[in-house]
Chains A and B, each alone.
Chain A
Amino acid sequence: MTMMGYKCMQQGGSVLYRLTGATGRRLVAAVPLVWLLVFFLLPLLETLQVSFTTAQRSVPPYAPLWGFDETGFFTNFTLDNYALLAAYWQDYIGPAGNSIKLAFFSTLVCLLFAYPMAWWIARSTAKWRVVLLVMVMLPFWTSSLLRIYALIGLLNPNGFINSLLIWLGLIDAPLRMMQTDFSIYMGMVLTYLPLMILPLYAVMVRLDDDVIEVATDLGASSVAVWWTVILPLTLPGVIAGSLLVFIPAVGEFVIPALLGGPDQLMMGKVLWTEFFRNRDWPVAAAIAMLLLAILTVPIIYARYQDGREDHASDPQAGTP
């Protein structure tokens, strides 16, 4: 082959490569984008639609929001489902408030345990650090349903704790622990503690020993050092962990369903009951929208925090 021919081929190949490269690049981003549009955004819009229709005895058990028949365009648009939520507020808005309350205090309890645990791990030697981190990750990789089930065996009236306390002679009658706020908090801590520890650990392990040492050398008490130096520096981890716990805790279903009683109603359980027991899908859709509305502020805040970190850690972002 002549030199000329070889050069032509090389150039042709490179042009071909660039062409497929550009299309390939477009596909790489477009394929997952289309998937998420179809299987994430579209379902939410469909739910919004259904929340404005009426329930009816048919398959599916709701009327179409709009369509065409012999008489032309028709619509079943109604605000009844939202009016129902407002009218029976103690059955729907009450659980919403309860969800926020239980999720908020669960986040605080998680923080109470996670902060010292993360501190402990961050200040351990490298060898111990691996062991303790594995111990934090291990429950995270096991089914939360099974862990909650294990907790029931502990808290039941005839469960392990009550039997132990009676055997020790500390109590005469079993304590009521199941179906209380206590059992909910235990379940939440059991489920979400690892999610709180990991972001806290990530900021604590990067803390500079010298900063703490300087403050101590200057005569600050350990509480003062914590309040003025350590807490401000670990605050990003506190915020990240709290959002990771609070957001899913508000919509939690398994914990109130298995550990809670009629007084621990949460939105996830109300939605479930409306859907599976009452088979009123439009009302369930309206509850889903209410749940989303409640979570909008923390979700957007979490996105904002994420975005800032994204930019800080990725020098390429923002440059073409």
Chain B
Amino acid sequence: MTGRISLPVMCLGILGFGILYVPMAVMIVFSFNAGKLVSVWSGFSAKWYASLLTNEQLLNAFGLSLFIAFWAATIATFFGMLIAIAFVRFGDFRGRLALSGLSSAPLVMPEVVTGLSLLLLFIGMESVLGWPAGRGVDTIIIAHATFGMCFAAVVIQARLRDFDQAIEEAAYDLGARQPFVFFSVTLPVILPAVIAAWLLAFTLSFDDLVIASFVSGPGSSTLPILVFSKVRLGVTPEINALASVMISIVTVSVIMAAYVMRRRLGKTG
């Protein structure tokens, strides 16, 4: 449905987009400020970007977060795909209710509760099983993979529902067998959703502060943990530069993804 919209709707809409974008825009502009404040312009300078590049602590945390997000997203996407296949293809199997409850509850669980309870589990497991010995990168990956797979399952499920099973049946009729059918027919069709799920899980992991704070150990400070500890002490211009870089990366990737998707859509119909 398309049509005219009234003036009040337009005003509220513009105000809404303003709330989303003005803080980021102001921050990006002032990341080039020579002074420290986000209010008084004292000349153009890229010095905060330069000092960002030499800040080893921030760079290390950035690398650590990338590593954690990569593995968490990979595990989450794999498990999320299994959950989606079970829901869409298996009909009423034993444990369907349990799986649907357990895979949707983490979506709405408060982060502080998830973080605290996972930490208590890891400590309990350490005293009973001797694993995990202490907390660090591996426990953060497990925590992020756990809530990531629930988001991944939702994304992949939606695509799998629209999937025309006749293509798979055709492959069977031509003599193909599992797992060949899955890898040569099913996976290519649901691939866009799998990639979207991986990216979503990656972003959720990369941005997570609360859960990581609970389950991280000494020496495994992720980027959000470091940023949070710096921000608490006040506005630091290096974070302005860092945030501007990250926002630019996301903006370019999202616009590129939208462009590619539009072209694909244009081609197929």
Chain A residues in contact with chain B, CB under 8 A?
17, 21, 24-25, 28-33, 35-37, 39-44, 46-47, 50, 60, 112-114, 116-117, 119-120, 122-125, 130, 134-139, 141-147, 149-154, 156, 158-160, 162-164, 186, 189-190, 193-194, 204-205, 207-209, 212, 222, 243, 247-248, 250-254, 257-258, 267-268, 271-272, 275-276, 281, 284-285, 288, 291-292, 295, 299, 302-303, 306, 313-314, 316-320
Contact = CB atoms under 8 A, between A and B. Distances in A.
B98 to A, nearest CB: 6
A139 to B, nearest CB: 5
B1 to A, nearest CB: 5
Given A119-B9, A123-B3, A139 B20 contact: yes
A193 B20 contact: yes
A146 B243 contact: yes
Interface of B: 1-6, 8-10, 12-13, 15-17, 19-24, 26-27, 30, 37-40, 79-80, 82-83, 85-86, 88, 90-93, 95-96, 98-99, 101-106, 108, 110-114, 116-118, 120-121, 123-124, 127, 142-143, 146, 149, 161, 177-178, 203, 206-207, 209-210, 213-214, 224, 227-228, 231-232, 235, 239-240, 242-243, 246-247, 250-251, 254-255, 258, 262
Contact of A116 (B8, B255, B258): B8
A306 B124 CA distance: 34
B91 to A, nearest CB: 5
Nearest to A36: B102
Contacts of A31: 79, 82
Task: From B19, B93, B113, B127, name the one whose CB has the most chain A CB atoms within 10 angstroms.
Answer: B113
A43 B139 CA distance: 13
Contacts of B111: 248, 251, 253, 268
Contacts of B95: 29-30, 33
28 contacts: A24-B178, A28-B82, A29-B93, A30-B95, A32-B149, A44-B117, A46-B120, A116-B13, A119-B9, A119-B13, A123-B4, A135-B21, A138-B250, A139-B21, A142-B250, A145-B231, A150-B27, A154-B22, A189-B19, A190-B19, A193-B20, A194-B20, A209-B3, A267-B112, A272-B112, A275-B214, A306-B104, A319-B91
Contacts, number: 273
Contacts of B227: 145-146, 149
A251 B43 CA distance: 41
B20 A190 contact: yes
Nearest to B38: A153
B90 A29 contact: yes
Nearest to B243: A146
Given A159-B38, A160-B39, A36 B103 contact: yes
Minimum-distance CB pairs A-B, first 9: A251-B110, A153-B38, A43-B117, A113-B16, A163-B39, A43-B121, A150-B23, A150-B27, A36-B102
A258 B23 CA distance: 15
B12 A150 contact: no
